[in-house]
Amino acid sequence: MKSFTTQMAWRNVWRNPRRSVLTMASVAFAGLILIFMLSWQFGSYDTMINSAVSIHTGHLQVQAEGYHDKRRIGQVVERPDAVAKVVERTKGVDTYTTRASAFSLVSSEDRTYAALVVGIDPEREPAVSTLESLVRKGSFLAPDDGYQALIGRLLARNLKVDVGDEIVLLGQGRDGSIAASAVRVKGVFESGQDEFDRSTVQIPMAAFQEVYAMRGGVHELVVVCESLDSVPAVKQRLASTLPGVEKGLVVLDWKELMPGLVQSIQMDLISGFIFYVILILVVAFSILNTFLMAIFERKKEFGVLLALGSTPGRISRMILAECGVMTGLGIAAGVVLGAAVTLYFEAHGIAFSGAEEILRQFGLPERMYPELSLLSATVGAGVVLLITSFAVIYPALRVLRLRPVDAISTIQ
Amino acid sequence: METQSIVSLSDVTKTYRQGRVQITALDGVSLEVPQGDFLALAGPSGSGKTTLLNLIGGLDRADSGSIRLNGNDLGAMSESELAGMRLEQVGFVFQSYNLIPVLSAEENVEYVMLLQGVAARERREKARAILDDVGLEGMYDRRPAELSGGQQQRVAVARAVVSGPSIVLADEPTANLDSATGRALMDMMRSMNEAKGVTFVFSTHDRMVMDYAGRLIRIRDGRVAGDERREGEAES
Amino acid sequence: MHTLMAWRNIWRNPRRTLVILTAVVIGVWSMIFLGALMRGLTNQYLEIGISTLTGHIQVHHQDFRSDPVIQNRIDRPGRVAEALEPLLPPGSHWTERIRVNAIANTARHAQGVTLVGIDPEREARVSFIGGAVKEGNYLEPDDPYGILVGKALAEDFETRLDRRVVLMSLGVDGKVASRAFRIRGIFRAETEATEKQYMFVTMAAARDMLGLERGVTEAAVLLPSHELTGKTAEALERRLPTPPLAVQTWRDLLPLVRVTIELYDTFIFLWFLVVFIAMAFGIVNTLLMAVFERVREFGLLKALGMRPRGIVQGVLTESFFLLLLGTAAGNALGVLSVNLLAESGIDLSALAGRLAEVGMRRVGYPQLQAGGFRLANVVVFVLGIVVSLYPAVKAARFTPVEALAHT
């Protein structure tokens, strides 16, 4: 019985191949655009998050409570080694490093600028961040480097210094004393993010602790998890084990560390959805006519069916099946085409000529790659299905109101 | 020899509203159709023949008066009861647009049995048998578009009788056929009437068709203007 | 006559016409409304950028941008004034500034900031600071020790009105110069970054601190409209000794804003195309239905002697009316919704609380712009007629015999 109705519906779809194909094509078009765009959005978010995580924050950070807001030099993790041991043993943690930072004046022979001096662990840092790969001139720090520094490209330009030159750091130590030291520029890095390149100096942690009288403390213990998905679980585990090692510590994840990033992603997602909904609404009305015509030009046929003893409910189900087949095929084609287009660009990338500047500031490469995922494909298909099904339901409901005599009266 | 009436109408009226004009399609029609009749409703177009057929078939409802089919009052039935009644007890043949275009000849005939819940194999056998009866052997798989007008009407008749209805209602079944084809169709319907005892009511304004009728009711302005039983057969 | 026929034809099936019109109306509305909203956002972005000490045109010493120190200054600002003043279109304002990097210190905090020495009266007409002081007062023209700090910075520094801030910067002599200021006012800006970056003192105070007799680091010009920028900058360039001076427009000074606007423009255009394609499927399908229903009629018209061209024209006229009605209603709705929201704006903070961090306002004010308006209508109309050619040609191809045989 079912198969009979389905079969009839299938044949009805192909009674007017041109119309059906156009209808399916418009659904497919919406599907294609959505899948591509969603893959694009999700892909760029991943790139943004990953690059921000790998340049700046890591997945998680252990800090003294309040440090994230106030950034006072005295808000330290007192026993980094003990904390590190706990972190290392925690399931889901890939690696970690320690950092400390202090706002300082950085002077060259004839220029002085304000900058953030960051103490890093030369051995551990390369596994956590991309800093090492950003070094454009000179070389990265080594564990026994002592008083040597990496410096951002713009800061180097402003200070008029190059690799081998000496700069003087002047700040305030943990104990309130004046912290001053000369360091030699060992390398110049360039992240493309002007703010970062203009205002950062990295020195080895040992030197930092000495200059700023840190008494063995650090400001951040930066943790990289095995994957982005494992972050919440690791965070929870750390939050429960850390108080046993040192009081007054908090674990912050990348979302808390970079609220701006999360919000720009949300903003982008939501505005994207507004565009998609409007697009699909246009498509829904475009195809509604096909579905309505499928009814109004076949009133006579429905009259015969009713006279034969069929019920409006049965006819309505047939219409539902017909429109459903068209939408379904359209969406299927959209998924296939969308996936194909996405995969093509996933392999070749899309270059934004002229926009490299803006992309760099967000830590994005100038060639962007969409990323086809189960999520982007299903969300895309799902949204199209949801909105177009309104266009399917309306004609099916119209048929329910069909009275035999109205249908039949068109026969003679 | 008096048999039970399959259809019985008493004082049925039906008016339509067309724009601002009230049109009285049927004006106090009373009528009995006994089992086995081969009845022609004759009259000019607009006389109310089609309305009468629609009411008997339960496609439309009367404004007043009562219509009984096999003793059941159609006015008291719900829409879905009417649909069930049409399925089990009434067969329809229309002037044109008779067949479902996406179904083959055999599937068109099967469709009614499908609604009745007949098993697939039995459907197939019965459909083929009856298509053979109406002279369409070997054309089971043709779609309506691949059949001539006469052949289409034969399929329609086959479909109308296959469900074993008490009555077959045919609205101007030959109107779109040439006279030779029309005669052949009438011959076939007549033989079904005689061989299987199926009751036929058809409307027409074609003298040739009237000549086939065993009973001729003339309708004029929504009233019964004449009712004669005839023994005459068509001279072919 | 043919126009009348086309008009009546589209109303033969009002339901179908209304459905496809709805699709066109939604499409056109979305083009206009979303176009205006995005234009509004980019314009705000631009306005904020321009009012945050950029202006439309700036004059610097040619080395100042790559090495922003007091040594790279405009030594004789009088020459800039001479060159500039005759050129300025009415409604323009301009001012001079000393802008240097500095370190701000309080007892407990220190941070790198940009110290801006301003002429308070003239500055107020050029940049945001004139209306931005929310606590305390704006600077008096010759206040030697007053300073304006941003709200976010004041919070970071845990300081308030009348407290002291010490500023250190490189003086003219190449040595670190410092001076203590008293907070006269606390200002708010569109972004926290701005509040944390800038501190304002009077020109006299800045000169005194840095050991400067005369001279400024920049002259900034605010024009009555963005469009005048290029022309004025060119004229100015011809009248100034360049080098050692350099003239830059906001397009050079705010590359991110420029690129963002260009990106948005491209995006809007692509969006128009995508919506149009979605609409086009519906338009073509609807016209095809209308055409195939009337095969007999076209046969008849041909039998009566109408040329294929006439039939094509007839169908295109129907499409023209559909598009006309659709775009008219879409435009009307678009203008209406933009006007409704142009005053109050659309609160985007629900979407993202800290939009401010990326330099955009929390409230979007849609702005109609002739360009976007024209583009939307041209896209829909021209391409709409183009895709309608398919059903039109289809209709013209029916031969009278097959058309009349069609039931």
Give a yes or no: residue B16 inside a domain: no
Q: Give the pLDDT score at B235.
A: 41
The total of structural domains in chain B comes to 1
Q: Give the pLDDT score at C356.
A: 44
**A268-297 pLDDT per residue, tens:** 888 888 888 888 888 888 888 888 877 777
The whole-angstrom distance between residue A126's C-alpha and the CA centroid of its chain comes to 23
Chains touching A by CB (3 or more pairs below 8 Å): B, C
Distance, in Å, from the CA atom of A387 to the CA atom of A299, rounded to the nearest integer, reads 26
What are the chain C neighbours of A105 within 8 Å (beta carbons)?
A: 103, 168
Per-10-residue mean pLDDT, chain C, length 407:
79 85 90 86 86 91 85 87 89 92 83 91 92 91 92 90 90 86 92 89 93 91 90 89 86 86 85 89 88 81 77 90 93 89 69 46 69 84 91 82 60
Q: Which of A10, A16, A314, A412 to mutate to test the interface with B (most CBs of B within 10 A)?
A: A412
Nearest CA in chain B to A15: B102
**A85-100 pLDDT per residue, tens:** 999 999 999 999 999 9
Query: Closest Cα of chain A to C155: distance in Å?
Result: 10
Q: Give the pLDDT score at A337.
A: 94
Q: What b/e readout covers A166-199, taking b as 16+ CB neighbours within 10 angstroms?
A: ebebbbbbbeeeebebebebbbbbbbbbeebbbb
Residue B78 above 90 pLDDT? Answer: no
H/E run at residue C115: strand C110-118
Mean pLDDT over each residue of chain A, to the nearest integer: 87
Q: Give the pLDDT score at A411.
A: 44
Give the C-alpha distances (Å, rounded to integers) separating C9 from A372, C280, C294, C304: 46, 20, 10, 18
Distance, in Å, from the CA atom of C291 to the CA atom of C308, rounded to the nearest integer, reads 14
* Backbone phi and psi for residue B229, each to the nearest 5 degrees, phi listed first: -90, 140
Q: Give the pLDDT score at C349.
A: 56
We report the CATH number of the domain holding residue B184 as 3.40.50.300
Give a yes or no: residue B1 inside a domain: no
What are the chain A neighbours of B166 within 8 Å (beta carbons)?
A: none
Amino acid letter, residue C373: F
**B189-201 pLDDT per residue, tens:** 998 899 888 899 9
Residues with Cβ within 8 Å of A116's Cβ and at least 6 positions away in sequence, in order, are A101, A102, A103, A104, A199, A200, A201
Q: Give the pLDDT score at B2.
A: 46
Q: Give the pLDDT score at B169.
A: 93
The answer to whether C140 touches C205, Cβ cutoff 8 Å, is no
User: How many CB atoms sit inside 10 A of residue C347's CB?
Assistant: 10
What is the 8-class DSSP label of residue C162? Answer: T
Distance, in Å, from the CA atom of A55 to the CA atom of A72, rounded to the nearest integer, reads 22
Summarize the confidence of residues A133-140 as an average pLDDT.
92
Distance, in Å, from the CA atom of C151 to the CA atom of C138, rounded to the nearest integer, reads 14
Nearest CA in chain B to A313: B80
Give a yes or no: residue B12 inside a domain: no
**A311-330 pLDDT per residue, tens:** 888 888 888 888 888 899 99
Distance, in Å, from the CA atom of B114 to the CA atom of B110, rounded to the nearest integer, reads 6
What are the chain A neighbours of B58 within 8 Å (beta carbons)?
A: 404
The answer to whether A338 touches A36, Cβ cutoff 8 Å, is yes
Query: Closest Cα of chain A to B87: distance in Å?
Result: 4
Instruction: Tell me chain B's radius of gyration from C-alpha atoms.
Output: 17
Nearest to C312 by CA among C282, C336, C291: C291
* Backbone phi and psi for residue A115, each to the nearest 5 degrees, phi listed first: -155, 165
Query: Closest Cα of chain A to C318: distance in Å?
Result: 17
* Backbone phi and psi for residue C396, each to the nearest 5 degrees, phi listed first: -70, -15
Q: Give the pLDDT score at A362.
A: 67
Summarize the confidence of residues A358-365 as an average pLDDT.
70
Helices in B17-171 by DSSP H: which ranges? 49-56, 79-89, 105-116, 120-133, 149-162
Amino acid letter, residue B195: A
Q: Is C358 on the interface with A (CB under 8 A)?
A: yes
What are the chain C neighbours of A357 within 8 Å (beta carbons)?
A: 255-256, 259
Which of C19, C256, C289 is facing A361, going by the closest CB pair?
Answer: C256
Q: C62, exposed or middle or buried, with CB in 10 Å at 0-12, 13-18, 19+? A: middle
Summarize the confidence of residues B36-48 as an average pLDDT.
89
Give a yes or no: residue B14 inside a domain: no
Give a yes or no: residue B105 inside a domain: yes
Amino acid letter, residue B44: P
Give a yes or no: residue B137 inside a domain: yes
Interface of C with A in 217-276 (CB under 8 A): 255-256, 259-260, 262-263, 271, 274-275
Q: Is the dihedral of CA C370, C372, C373, C375 positive or negative?
A: positive
With an 8 Å Cβ cutoff, are A306 and B60 in contact?
no
Give a yes or no: residue B70 inside a domain: no
Which range of A51-60, A334-343, C353-362, C398-407 scores highest in mean pLDDT? It is A334-343
Domain range for B197 is 36-58+78-229
Interface of A with C in 167-206 (CB under 8 A): 171-172, 199
* Backbone phi and psi for residue A172, each to the nearest 5 degrees, phi listed first: -120, 130
What is the 8-class DSSP label of residue A248? Answer: T
What are the chain B neighbours of A309 within 8 Å (beta carbons)?
A: 83-88, 90, 112, 115-116, 163
Q: Give the pLDDT score at A407.
A: 67
Residue B236 above 60 pLDDT? Answer: no
Joined together, the tokens standing for residue A116 give 């953030």
Nearest CA in chain C to A295: C16
Residue A354 above 80 pLDDT? Answer: no
Select the more confidently predicted residue: A183 or C105. A183
With an 8 Å Cβ cutoff, are B159 and A308 in contact?
yes
Q: Give the pLDDT score at C7.
A: 84
Q: Give the pLDDT score at C355.
A: 44
Give a yes or no: residue B68 inside a domain: no
Q: Give the pLDDT score at C119.
A: 94
